[in-house]
Structure 1
Amino acid sequence: MFNGCYSPDRLENIEQKVTGNTWKKQFEEKLPFLGHRNWILVVDKAFPEQNAPGMEYLYADEDLLPVLKSVLEKVRKSGHVKPIIYQDKELGFITESQAKGVQQFRQELSTLFNGQNVQTMLHDSVFKKLDSEAKLFKVLVIKTNQVIPYTSIFLQLDCDYWNGDKEKELRNRMKLPL
């Protein structure tokens, strides 16, 4: 319903805040600028805000899995990038008695990834990698309400329309090393 005190644009902004879609709109605006070697992190509630100048944060007032699903869909449909997926190695070792809901989370995550190659790395290694990457490349962090430890997912973006084989062929024709 239109209220004479608010312009249609103002009502749209209010609706986004009420429905929690603000992060989605911000993400959609940022995705075209992200490319090969950029990162998108969908992280749990305890993930720290870092001071690295290349890191930017969005807050999604939602659980991690729906946010991740939305991000993966948009990345896959972008046509210019595809994700290389990383997760914390520790997640595979947490028991249900340590973190209620972890088994269901792992099952739903497995279904979401649907057989895709997912690499694991120790959580502390993630910070070291991001520290060096953020010096050159943008790292977009989407923080969620997830409160199960080690559930953050890290997407390193790769070019969707070019691959290593094509690059190798190009370098061979140019007579340049990879």
Structure 2
Amino acid sequence: MESSSDWRGIISRQLPRLGHRNWLAIVDSAYPWQSAPSIETTVTGTDHVEVIRHMIEAVESAPHVRPIFLLDAELERLPESDAPGITEYRAILAQLLDGREPQRLPHEEIISRLAEAARDFQVLVLKTTFTLPYTSLFLQLDCAYWSAEAEQRLRNLLDRSS
């Protein structure tokens, strides 16, 4: 695990190397340090919302990838009484993700998917100073210039020709 105030530089250096099937994660301070060698974890020492905002802007301005956003399903159900500040965070996150449709899955399912991807592909995890549970934002990267529909049409053509 690396601690770096240059997390923006890490994003700008790594993003051109990342592509379809890579993952990015912006996580709270209690997120575990995962042991897979393909998971690079950086402690940003920075506010969660600031890192999320920057990551969304960076990924969405990249010409080669588009993000599939994933959120912990538990986030929607957390009561303010157990996690003071969670209502405000949900409102801020809703603004940041406005116009986007994040998938909401149980935390353990997202972690399993990320771990599965890490068997073959790089994952970049940015830990923030945030201390609220289930607030991670995961981005599964997809190809920006090739759609799932185009891939299916190609597969259908290949199936017909064999």
User: Partners in 2 of 1:176 and 1:49 — Cα distance?
Assistant: 46
| Residue matched to 1:10 | none
| Residue matched to 1:66 | 50
How many residue pairs match? The answer is: 158
Q: Deviations over 1:32-54 (max 9, x none)?
A: 00000000000000000010121
Shift of 1:125: 1.5
Q: Deviations over 1:107-150 (max 9, x none)?
A: 00000000311111111222222221110111110110010110
2:105 pairs with one of 121, 126, 129? 121
User: Partners in 2 of 1:114 and 1:145 — Cα distance?
Assistant: 24
Shift of 1:169: 2.2
- Give the 5 Å matches for 1:78-93: 78-93=62-77
1:104 pairs with one of 68, 88, 92? 88
Q: Deviations over 1:73-93 (max 9, x none)?
A: 000111100110001111111
User: Partners in 1 of 2:76 and 2:117 — Cα distance?
Assistant: 25
User: Partners in 1 of 2:114 and 2:140 — Cα distance?
Assistant: 10
User: Aligned partner of 1:142: which letter?
Assistant: L
- Give the 5 Å matches for 1:15-164: 20=5, 22-164=6-148
User: Partners in 2 of 1:78 and 1:84 — Cα distance?
Assistant: 14
| Residue matched to 2:159 | 175
Shift of 1:176: 6.0
User: Partners in 2 of 1:158 and 1:127 — Cα distance?
Assistant: 18
TM-score, normalising length: structure 2: 0.92
| Residue matched to 1:9 | none
User: Partners in 2 of 1:77 and 1:176 — Cα distance?
Assistant: 37
TM-score, normalising length: structure 1: 0.84
Gaps of 5+ in 2: none
User: Aligned partner of 2:112: which letter?
Assistant: K
Question: What is the Cα-based RMSD across aligned positions, in Å?
Answer: 1.5
